[in-house]
Amino acid sequence: MDSERLFDAVRTQSGDTEFYLPLPSGYQLGSTKFVVVFGTVMSGLGKGIFSSSLAKCLQDKGLTVAPIKLEGYLNIDSGTLNPFRHGEVFVLDDGTETDMDLGTYERALNLNLTRLNFATSGQIYRRVLERERTGGYLGRDVQMIPHVTGEIKNRLRELALASKADVVFVEIGGTVGDVENAHYIEAMRQLAFEEGQRSVCFVALTFILEPSILGEQKSKAAQLGIRRLLECGVQPHIIACRAQTPVTRKVREKIALFSNVAPERVFSMHDCESVYLIPELLRGAGYDKAVMEWLELESKVEETVEREAREEWLNYLNQRRSANREVRVGITGKYTSVRDAYASILKALEHAGTYLGCKVDVDWVDTSELTDAKAAETLKDIHAIIVPGAFGTRGADGKIACLKCARTTGLPALGICYGFQMAVIEFARNVCGMEDANSTEIDNECRYPVINLLPEQKKIEGLGGTMRLGGQDIVVKEGTLAQRMFGSRARMRFRHRYEVDPRYIPQLEFGGMVFAGRSPRAEIMNLLELPATMHPYYVGTQAHPELTSRPLDPNPLFVGLVHAALRRKYGTDQVASLVFPRERSDADDDESSAGSSSPQSVSRA
Residue 565's closest CA among 400, 347, 349? Answer: 349
Q: What pLDDT digit, counting tens, does each position of 275-301 carry? A: 999 999 999 999 999 999 999 999 999
In what side-by-side order are the strands of the sheet with 238-243? 118-120, 65-71, 167-172, 33-39, 200-207, 238-243, 266-270
Residue 107's closest CA among 36, 44, 51, 34? Answer: 51
Tell me how many degrees the CA angle 22-27-29 measures, rounded to the nearest 5.
85
pLDDT at residue 65 in the model: 98
Q: What pLDDT digit, counting tens, does each position of 542-595 carry? A: 999 999 999 999 999 999 999 999 999 999 999 999 999 888 877 676 665 554
pLDDT at residue 466 in the model: 64
pLDDT at residue 394 in the model: 84
Q: Is a pLDDT exceeding 70 seen at residue 445?
A: yes
pLDDT at residue 457 in the model: 63
Among the ranges given (270-279, 317-326, 399-408, 448-457), the one the predictor scored with the smallest mean pLDDT: 448-457
- The single residue of 195, 417, 441, 563 carrying the catalytic annotation is 417
pLDDT at residue 20 in the model: 75
In what side-by-side order are the strands of the sheet with 499-500? 437-439, 448-452, 499-500
pLDDT at residue 8 in the model: 56
Q: Is a pLDDT exceeding 90 seen at residue 532?
A: yes
417 catalytically annotated: yes
pLDDT band for 273, please (50, 70, 90 cuts).
confident
- The single residue of 86, 351, 544, 563 carrying the catalytic annotation is 544
Q: Is a pLDDT exceeding 80 seen at residue 312?
A: yes
Q: Is a pLDDT exceeding 70 seen at residue 162?
A: yes
Q: Tell me what the mean pLDDT of segment 97-126 comes to.
A: 96
- The single residue of 194, 441, 529, 546 carrying the catalytic annotation is 546
Among the ranges given (94-103, 138-147, 378-387, 538-547), the one the predictor scored with the smallest mean pLDDT: 138-147
pLDDT band for 602, please (50, 70, 90 cuts).
very low
Q: Which residue has the higher pLDDT, 463 or 95?
A: 95
Q: Tell me what the mean pLDDT of segment 50-76 comes to.
A: 96
Residue 345's closest CA among 434, 292, 419? Answer: 419
Q: What pLDDT digit, counting tens, does each position of 168-180 carry? A: 999 999 899 899 9
Q: Which residue has the higher pLDDT, 340 or 398?
A: 398
Q: Return the bridge partners of 97, or none.
A: 91
Q: What pLDDT digit, counting tens, does each position of 325-337 carry? A: 999 999 998 877 7
Residue 69's closest CA among 51, 86, 91? Answer: 51
546 catalytically annotated: yes
544 catalytically annotated: yes
Which domains, ranges and CATH numbers included, belong to the chain? Answer: 3-7+34-315 (3.40.50.300), 323-580 (3.40.50.880)
**What is the full DSSP assignment across 291-328?**
HHHHHT-GGG--HHHHHHHHHHHHHHHHHHHT--EEEE
Distance of CA 21 to the CA centre of its chain: 32
pLDDT at residue 368 in the model: 86
Please answer whether residues 78 and 123 qualify as being in contact, where contact means their C-beta atoms are separated by less than 8 angstroms: no
Question: Cα–Cα distance between 544 and 3 in angstroms, integer?
Answer: 45
pLDDT band for 138, please (50, 70, 90 cuts).
confident
Q: Tell me what the mean pLDDT of segment 131-147 comes to.
A: 88
Please answer whether residues 415 and 387 qualify as being in contact, where contact means their C-beta atoms are separated by less than 8 angstroms: yes
Phi, psi of 317 (to 5 degrees): -65, -40
pLDDT at residue 212 in the model: 84
